[in-house]
Amino acid sequence: MAQKRKYISESNRGNNDSESVNMELEPTVVSPASQSWWLNIREALRGSQRDYTQGPIGTAIIILAIPMVLEMIMESVFALVDIFFVIKLGADAAATVGLTEAIITLIYAIAMGLSIGAAATVARRIGEQDRDGAAHAAAQSLLVGLAVALVLGISGVLFAPRLLALLGGSPGVISGGTNYARIMLGGNLVIVMLYLINAIFRGAGDAAIAMRVLWLANGINILLGPCLIFGVGPFPKLGVTGAAIATTIGRGIGALYAFSRLIGPGSRVEIRLSHFKLDLKVMARLVKLSASGTFQVLVGMASWIGLMVIVSRFGSNAVAGYTVGIRVVIFALLPSFGMSNAAATMVGQALGAGDPERAERSVWLAGRYNVYFLGVVGLLFFAFAPSIVEFFTEDPGIVPYGISCLRIVSCGFVFYAYGMVLTQSFNGAGDTWTPTKINLVVFWLWEIPMAYVLAIHFGMGPSGVFWAITIAFSSLAVISAVLFRRGRWRTRSV
């Protein structure tokens, strides 16, 4: 109530005299529910100092989820805009992006694994009211991320052409896409830092800052991308290489801004120079937690490499269509990932406050919200798949594959909704091994063999791969729900 009264009083102070007179002459009736929603949205976008371990669960989820969803929407918009421009360069350029992203998924896996450990630890410390401990853990996680990124960057620059060839890239893809791959892989530091710092903000409940960081990074990327790809105005025409440069610059600026907010005043996790003093004990605990988290994401994301290898058997058109379809799917799934992150923060902070019942109620409620969203999006994608794909390309060789991918994968959206929330909730509790085992079974022992058998043995082609994706993610949701109900995540220490 104190927070609500604060915003009401701020609103009243912002009204001028004429507005007050108008309100007296023509009174406007605002329902309490509408006013409450507006206050929640305003609080979510401006940033909140709310204690998420107290008060209504639904309100807490909404305030956390709004900036997280908007953050991921911007990531989704970038994914679509990027492929929209790149595909104008032809199938080889689109295939270059698709194959390189299959490699970068490994970097994403490591970055997300590190962020899982950092977010879970920070959320738990915040729930325990230990902000200095949260800041210390955050600083140590950044040092670990820096070391890992340097090793990955050097390796990526040296072996980019070989990696493209290993994934089945054609000679045209390898010759035209090597520079793109080298820039994206060599600049992975900005990816790691962006994921890691934003995860720290989210774990602490500073979701609005994480939102602004990603909007800045991807906003620059979206504006700069076509300029460097096509040589607009004074910019050089660099083709697909320009897309890589724009992405790295945008993310780099975003990472610098995020770091400035992390060490500046006003953050829930205000890092000072003393927090960067090497603490091998804390680093070891973070590495242990992040290692299982990294392996978890690695298992899931590396499976996309296996799928890409199978799809590449059917040519560049199939790869390009698959890339377009998956980019559109990501457009829907990334906002849902924002809702999942909100659930993870609620779980971590609630467990830190010693309230596992609140943690569990938060997960099921967030899952329900996610089902509402993805269920509607899935229906829209299935109905309007041709129009959506043709917005990106009218190439008759690419369009059928894109439509098939979009329609088949969207059939499982309702299952994905719960699966994403449940998986992230395990991570928020610090139980990173349970989703790791689930990913290993579902993606490597189930999805990839199924994709190969359906696509090659039964002659379904790329459609077999798309059906394997749908079946696998639906299976993941069911298995996760069963294991979550067992409740072993409640006793995990971080």
Please write the tens of the pLDDT for every residue from 64-77: 888 888 877 777 67
Residue 409 tokens, joined = 């994968």
Residue with tokens 């590396």: 302
Candidates 42, 167, 197; CA nearest to 104 is 167
pLDDT at 310: 92
The average pLDDT across 265-279 equals: 85
C-alpha pair distances (Å), 114 with each of 120, 124, 144, 148, 299: 10, 16, 8, 10, 15
CB count, 10 Å around CB of 101? Answer: 22
Candidates 112, 102, 301; CA nearest to 191 is 112
pLDDT at 266: 72
What is the DSSP code (8-state) at residue 266?
T
Q: How far apart are CA 130 and CA 439, in angstroms?
A: 33
Read off the pTM. 0.71
Q: What angle do CA 163, 94, 325 make, to 5 degrees?
A: 110
DSSP 209-232: HHHHHHHHHHHHHHHHHHHHHHT-
Q: Are 64 and 366 in contact (CB under 8 A)?
A: no
Candidates 290, 352, 289; CA nearest to 133 is 352
Question: What are the domain boundaries of the chain?
Answer: 56-486
Is 395 a residue whose pLDDT tops 70? Answer: yes
Categorize the per-residue pLDDT at 35 as very low, low, confident or very high, splitting at 50, 70 and 90.
Answer: low
pLDDT at 27: 43
The residues near 56 (Cβ < 8 Å, ≥ 6 apart) are none
Q: How far apart are CA 421 and CA 368, in angstroms?
A: 9
pLDDT, tens only, 123-150: 989 988 898 999 999 999 999 999 989 9
Check the CA dihedral 195-152-85-170 and report its sign: negative
Instruction: Tell me the pLDDT of the chain averaged across its residues.
Output: 84
pLDDT at 40: 72
Categorize the per-residue pLDDT at 19 as very low, low, confident or very high, splitting at 50, 70 and 90.
Answer: very low
pLDDT at 246: 92
Residue 145 tokens, joined = 């991320």
Residues listed for the chain: 494
